[in-house]
């Protein structure tokens, strides 16, 4: 779905088909890929056609079948009619009208949209209510991608906990019999790619493609690997590496841990014709209290059946956008790293729920903290639980630079960061963009935890 006259206009419906919630677009059960350029406006009419009595269960029952949209990772206003997940809420039969203004200096990259009704987010995302957003212009930072076939992959979790065909599905995606990590629980989910189980990705030998992958699962990690190949990373969480480090536009690795809600944009080289190669996720040890996150195959890489190069890939096109790069005015963050944290987020949990700084989220609560727009802040996220938690904050990116007090070898600008169990993560928040002013949120992006209380408000003022 692309812009016309700098406006992306669409109508999206929330529906329940065969007992599962879904997006419907143009009479099909599909979440369109939204493509926009800096300076464009997203005008989305969101219609709640969910039943008044939900056939499903929620983290906090009863399910109300309320719904809304969050534009994850975009540096846009948290106020209505933009990225407001607190005040904009549609009950069954109601309609929301979004008008999201993408700043002209917005960084290009992969973002995504998903529902965010507190108490029901986990169920709706697990059912598949998510889609990709591409902000055009990556070729301004990495010119090579203009000439490369592009693939957008939305990776979602699919519950098999009560599926009578669970064993067959586990075998289909190649889950090993050996347990993964500390948990002894059986796998509860498998992954799909653009709604398909273990699809084939066409790529010719030695062909170079531009892959954009979003972990749109409600509560599962991806440790991405292409057998025998490397990722030439050019962006993480929608932030080009070259935006902050023009001299280092790429980073190479043979696998990458991507948190729930995280994104990877990378160039991939096709394997030799005779090789049997898969895109897979490796085992992720989520901790003694964590959920099972076993290895499995996401997709198989195969030569193009037509004999042509990447017959199903979409090629990058030239876009009528401002040729000027968004300018990052770097500051020296080293002094901030040496100061005490401006704010500390502490994750805890017990049999009654999940907490930030000892408090569960309440819709009518005052903000837990505030931050002045135009500044940078040093935050420390402390995980006092026995499982991994991904920390996410709306509207802004941050530099993740230390884990357990030890500087990271490769600091990264992200909007979602893994916090090790029994450990901590230190980040520098970039609060300099004036468009973020308003009431926003930060939370654990294991949405079952967020639904049960692990979320808090922040006032950008």
DSSP annotation string for 404-420: TTEEEEEEEEESEEEE-
* CA 60/CA 68 separation, integer angstroms: 17
Q: 353-376 pLDDT, tens per residue?
A: 999 999 999 999 999 999 999 999
Burial class (CB in 10 A: 0-12, 13-18, 19+), 49: middle
Distances (CA, A) of 190 to 70, 184, 220: 24, 17, 9
What per-residue confidence (pLDDT) applies to 58? Answer: 86
Burial class (CB in 10 A: 0-12, 13-18, 19+), 294: buried
Q: How many CA atoms lie within 13 A of 218 on its CB side?
A: 27
**Per-position b or e across 321-333, b if 16+ CB within 10 A of its CB:** beeebbebeeeee
Q: 187-209 pLDDT, tens per residue?
A: 999 999 999 999 999 999 999 99
281 contacts 296 by C-beta, under 8 angstroms: yes
- Which range, of 139-153, 323-337, 371-385, averages the lowest pLDDT? 323-337
Rama region for 206: left / alpha / beta (φ>0; ψ in -120 to 50; rest): left
Rama region for 440: left / alpha / beta (φ>0; ψ in -120 to 50; rest): beta
Cβ–Cβ contacts within 10 Å for residue 300, how many? 15
Q: How many CA atoms lie within 13 A of 211 on its CB side?
A: 29
Compute CA 363 distance to the chain's CA centroid, rounded to the nearest angstrom: 23
Number of H helices, E strands in the chain: 5, 32
Rama region for 284: left / alpha / beta (φ>0; ψ in -120 to 50; rest): beta
* Longest CA span, the chain: 60
Please report where in the chains the tokens 């069954």 appear, as a residue. Answer: 92
Q: Which helix (H) or strand (E) holds 125?
A: helix 121-127
Is the pTM here over 0.85, yes or no?
A: yes
What per-residue confidence (pLDDT) applies to 322? Answer: 53
Q: Name the 3-class secondary structure at 171.
A: helix
**pLDDT greater than 50 at residue 317:** no
Strand locations in 303-352 (E):
314-315, 343-350
Cβ–Cβ contacts within 10 Å for residue 375, how many? 11
- Which range, of 42-46, 244-248, 305-309, 348-352, averages the lowest pLDDT? 305-309
Distances (CA, A) of 288 to 75, 162, 172, 234, 395: 35, 23, 27, 34, 32
- Average pLDDT on 241-246 reads 93
* CA 123/CA 117 separation, integer angstroms: 10
**pLDDT greater than 80 at residue 183:** no
Per-residue pLDDT band at 184 (split at 50, 70, 90): confident
**pLDDT greater than 70 at residue 312:** no
Please report where in the chains the tokens 């903000």 appear, as a residue. Answer: 367
* CA 37/CA 69 separation, integer angstroms: 20
Residue 446's nearest CA partner among 125, 191, 22, 130 is: 125
Residue 133's nearest CA partner among 87, 98, 81 is: 98
Residue 344 has which token pair? 């500390």
Per-residue pLDDT band at 254 (split at 50, 70, 90): very high
Sequence-ordered list of residues with C-beta below 8 angstroms from that of 180, at least 6 positions apart, any chain: 283, 284, 285, 292, 293, 294, 295
Per-residue pLDDT band at 307 (split at 50, 70, 90): low
What per-residue confidence (pLDDT) applies to 333? Answer: 87
Tell me if the bond preceding 62 is cis, omega within 30° of 0: yes
Tell me if the bond preceding 81 is cis, omega within 30° of 0: yes
Torsion of CA 80, 85, 90, 91, to 10 degrees: -150
Pairing of strands 369-371, 455-460: parallel
Cβ–Cβ contacts within 10 Å for residue 380, how many? 18
Q: 24-74 pLDDT, tens per residue?
A: 999 899 899 999 999 999 999 999 999 998 888 888 888 999 999 999 999
Q: 108-127 pLDDT, tens per residue?
A: 999 999 999 999 999 999 99
Per-residue pLDDT band at 328 (split at 50, 70, 90): confident
Please report where in the chains the tokens 């893994």 appear, as a residue. Answer: 418
229 contacts 275 by C-beta, under 8 angstroms: no
**pLDDT greater than 80 at residue 309:** no
Distances (CA, A) of 430 to 143, 342, 409: 26, 13, 21
What per-residue confidence (pLDDT) applies to 60? Answer: 81
Q: What percent of the chain has pLDDT over 90?
A: 86
The whole-chain average pLDDT of the chain stands at 94
Distances (CA, A) of 334 to 226, 400, 407, 428: 35, 13, 11, 10
């Amino acid at each position: 779905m692309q812009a016309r006259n700098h406006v992306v206009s669409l109508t999206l419906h929330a529906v329940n088909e065969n007992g599962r919630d879904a997006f419907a677009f143009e009479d099909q059960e599909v979440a369109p890929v939204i493509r926009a350029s800096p300076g464009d406006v997203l005008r989305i009419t969101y219609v709640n056609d969910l039943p008044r009595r939900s056939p499903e269960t929620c983290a906090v029952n009863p399910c109300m079948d309320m719904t809304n949209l969050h534009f994850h990772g975009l540096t846009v206003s948290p106020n209505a009619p933009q990225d407001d997940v607190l005040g904009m809420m549609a009950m069954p039969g109601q309609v929301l009208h979004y008008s999201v203004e993408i700043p002209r200096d917005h960084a290009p990259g992969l973002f995504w949209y998903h529902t965010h009704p507190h108490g029901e987010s986990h169920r709706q995302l697990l059912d598949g209510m998510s889609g990709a957003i591409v902000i055009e212009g990556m070729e301004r930072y990495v010119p090579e991608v203009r000439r490369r076939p592009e693939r957008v992959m939305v990776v979602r979790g699919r519950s098999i906990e009560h599926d009578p065909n669970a064993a067959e599905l586990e075998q289909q995606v190649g889950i090993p019999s050996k347990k993964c990590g500390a948990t002894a629980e059986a796998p509860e989910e498998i992954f799909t790619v653009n709604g398909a189980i273990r699809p084939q990705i066409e790529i010719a030998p030695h062909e170079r493609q531009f892959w954009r992958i979003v972990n749109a699962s409600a509560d599962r990690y991806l440790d991405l690997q292409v057998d025998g190949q490397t990722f030439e990373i050019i962006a993480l969480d929608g932030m080009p590496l070259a935006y902050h480090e023009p001299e280092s536009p790429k980073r190479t690795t043979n696998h990458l841990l991507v948190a729930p809600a995280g994104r990877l944009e990378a160039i991939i080289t096709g394997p030799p014709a005779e090789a049997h190669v898969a895109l897979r996720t490796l085992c992720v040890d989520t901790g003694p209290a964590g959920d099972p996150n076993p290895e499995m195959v996401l997709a198989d890489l195969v030569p193009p059946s037509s004999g042509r190069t990447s017959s199903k890939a979409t090629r990058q096109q030239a876009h009528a956008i401002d040729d000027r790069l968004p300018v990052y005015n770097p500051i020296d963050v080293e002094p901030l790293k040496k100061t005490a944290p401006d704010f500390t987020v502490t994750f805890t949990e017990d049999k009654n729920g999940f907490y930030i700084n000892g408090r569960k989220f309440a819709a009518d609560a005052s903000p837990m903290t505030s931050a002045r727009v135009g500044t940078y802040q040093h935050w420390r996220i402390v995980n006092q639980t026995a499982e991994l938690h991904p920390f996410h904050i709306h509207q802004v990116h941050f530099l993740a630079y230390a884990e357990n007090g030890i500087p990271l070898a490769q600091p990264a600008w992200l909007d979602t960061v893994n916090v090790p169990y029994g450990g901590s993560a230190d980040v520098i928040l970039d609060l300099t963009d004036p468009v973020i002013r308003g009431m926003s949120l930060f939370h654990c992006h294991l949405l079952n935890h967020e639904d049960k209380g692990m979320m808090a408000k922040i006032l950008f003022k």
